[in-house]
Amino acid sequence: MYLNIGKKKVPIIIAKSFFKRLIGLMGKKEIDFGMLFPKCNSIHTFFMKENIDIVGLDENNEVIYKYENLPKNKIIKINYNHKKTSILELPKNTSEKIKIGTILIFNED
């Protein structure tokens, strides 16, 4: 799966398993892909090697929250029903063109 952001095609991994949700992007360097965490309304950046961008999505993939260049050792909670919310973690400075209210369309490979 991927997401077109401007002229950039960003691969997206869906964190479905417990292990993928637990590890996420921790310990990764030179991140060049994103991770989608379905049914999630909070994340942390403990043990991260790089800053990341965070995009919160509602059940229709509409952007309801955005944080660019989130530093290490932070906790982010979106005040929205976690069963209807997803969080998209992206490489730092990737979400610049994404605006609140935009509906993101994920494409299959």
| Domains in the chain: boundaries | 2-107
* Strand order from edge to edge, sheet including 86-91: 63-70, 52-57, 86-91, 34-37, 8-14, 2-5, 106-107
CA distance 2 to 49: 23
CATH of domain 2-107: 2.60.120.1140
What confidence score (pLDDT) does residue 85 get? Answer: 93
The H or E element spanning position 53 is: strand 52-57
For the chain, what is the radius of gyration of the CA atoms?
A: 13
**pLDDT reading at 81 higher than 80:** no
Question: How many other C-beta atoms can be found within 10 angstroms of the C-beta atom of residue 78?
Answer: 20
For all residues of the chain together, what is the average pLDDT?
92
Mean pLDDT of 82-93: 90
Is the Cα dihedral 4, 72, 59, 97 positive or negative?
negative
